[in-house]
Amino acid sequence: MGIAEKTVRVQVLGRSGKEFIKGGVEISQDGTVADLKKAIQRQNAKYYPERQRLTLPLEPGQKRPTVLEGGKKLKDYFSNQNPQVVFKDLGPQVAYKTLFFFEYLGPLIIYPIFYFYPQIYSFFGLPTRQVTHPVQTYALYAWCFHYAKREFETFFIHRFSHATSPLANVYRNCAYYWVFGALIAYFVNHPLYTPVSKEQMYIGFAIAAVSQISNFYCHIILKNLRSPDGKGGYQIPSGFLFNYVTCANYMTEIWQWIGFNIATQTLAGYLFLGAAGYIMSVWALQKHKRLRQTFDGKEGRAKYPRRWVIMPPLL
Amino acid sequence: MGVVKVYLCVYNWLLFAGWLQILVSAVKALQQSGPSGVYAAVEKPLQIWQTAALLEVFFPLVFSFLWFLVLRRIVYGIVRSPVMATLPQIGSRIYLTWGILFSFPQVQEHWLVTSLVLSWSITEVIRYSFFALKETFGYTPRFLLWLRYTTFFVMYPTGICSEAGLVFVTLPFMQLSDLYCLRMPNKLNFGFDYYYMSIVALLAYIPGSPGMYTHMIRQRKKALGSKPKAS
């Protein structure tokens, strides 16, 4: 440092109110929250920035504290010379790409095992497969294409707003995808599987195919809303189905599973559809609410147009 | 809400009396005919009072689903322990009472039934009298609070081992029977095998039991404080 930089000493407290880092940390007055996190990491190498959640101390009457955003400057949050932040350890973090890679890998590997190794069923005392129905083969293709597409999107399409996710989510998410994947694979490739009519199968797979392509296009649109480092400001999605449905990406995903289930007709598949649909609806409602609150039409901001949330005409 | 308080009062005293009856019958049968006679002596009251406990979970669940906004506030107060902690416990209780003991008479005379009934009834007598006193008089003697949060150190292991043990000894009978099984082929392409489900349930005890045990230890710290009790 050539010219003497004005610095400020930030007090870092734990959530109990006690000082978390003795003496606080010193950073440039012009610094950002990201700089502050790096400074904290210098005091304790265990706490890499993705693991830190910094908030302003809770105001009286406030239920949830204000979270400090990485890109913003300290000056945006603190006017005085004695800034205090509250530190929370989010626990070990895992990159989202890593999380997605593993949770989608399970279905990609487990499903074909039931198709190509029907000997598994003899382990449960079941007869060997006499005939493989066409729908079982097409289902294999549809399923594997779906999860291969997801892997591709994870590494080449999606732009994540948060770089990481807590480690615990790896176990939870993998359990969800892998267990459902195994269940559906077990029943569709079962030696006593009963196929539906040819017409129903074609209709189902047609719906699934159209939905998959639409879903991919939705992901491209979402990708273009964000800049490459994920920093872009919040924007109103538009174009294609987004003009009518806030979470058109979730909608097309749900329709893809509806199509798959119409073609394969298993209770397990419908249960998965129910669970996935429920989870996505919860997310969609949150996103829709956030968009409406951000784009309220006041102070020169755009007003969020009237749109379905996730599934016209239901929601 | 006055109605809720009366309901809770009556409910807890009733369940306390029911489980006391089970405990006394079990001990008497133990003295008179030994472990193999315990189930026959407690079957009916056990089925009644264990199933009645569903009210603790499903009443708030059903109501909060139906009258989501309005009643949810009131209803959360009806069940003291959060649903997620008691659901697995009630689930395993109902499973053992109806899915194992009622469905497979071959295991009713097993000695594990004795340890099961004793573990359950001692725990419930303490738990319901605790809540009953609290609802009626607004106060519970410190000794009862201590009992509630200390007896689990023994009752949980004995209860869990009895439950898992009984499921395990019932497995061969499940394999031979078609009870609760759904066979393929069918239009829904779905099958259900009670034997394999029970194995999965048994495996669930492995991560589940430490979880429930540590949950109780945390509850104990909160209820009794970490400082030793002043005599």
Q: Do A194 and B193 touch (CB under 8 A)?
A: no
Closest C-alpha to A33, from A52, A19, A16: A52
Is B43 marked active-site? no
Q: Strands, DSSP E only, in A15-138?
A: 25-28, 52-55, 84-89, 93-95
Asked whether the beta carbons of A157 and A223 are under 8 A apart, the reply is yes
To the nearest 10 degrees (0 to 180), the angle between helices A96-116 and A168-188 is: 20
Q: Which residue has the tokens 């589940």?
A: B208
Please compute the mean of the pLDDT values over residues B185-196 and round it to a whole number: 92
Assess whether B196 carries a catalytic annotation: no
Token output for A41: 């990491």
A122-129: long-range contacts, CB 8 A cutoff, minimum separation 24:
A124/B193, A124/B196, A126/A190, A126/A191, A126/A192, A127/A191, A127/A192, A128/A191, A129/A189, A129/A191
pTM, to two decimals = 0.79
- For A70-106, write each residue's pLDDT tens digit: 778 888 887 777 788 889 888 899 999 999 999 999 9
Question: Tokens 């497995």, residue?
Answer: B171
The answer to whether the CB atoms of B191 and A187 lie below 8 A apart is yes
Chain B residues in contact with A188 (beta carbon < 8 A): 189
Contacts of A192 in chain B (CB under 8 A): 184-185, 191
B191 close to A (CB below 8 A) = yes
Q: With 90 as the cut, is the pLDDT of residue A63 above it?
A: no
> CA A239, A241, A247 angle in degrees (round to 5)?
105
Catalytic residue selected from B95, B156, B196, B205: B156
Q: Which of residues 192-221 of B touch A (CB under 8 A)?
A: 193, 196
Decide if the complex's ipTM is over 0.90: no
CB atoms within 10 A of CB A10: 21
Going by pLDDT thresholds of 50, 70 and 90, the confidence category of residue A12 is confident
| Contact criterion met (CB < 8 Å) for B189 and A124 | no
The predicted structure's pLDDT at residue A190: 95
Pick the residue of A192, A272, A278 with the most B CBs within 10 A to test the interface with B by mutation. A192
Question: A267: which chain B residues are within 8 Å (Cβ-Cβ)?
Answer: 188-190
Distances (CA, A) of A234 to A41, A53, A230, A291, A302: 29, 21, 10, 8, 12
pLDDT band of B56, cuts 50, 70, 90: confident
Q: Which of B65, B175, B190 to mutate to test the interface with A (most CBs of A within 10 A)?
A: B190
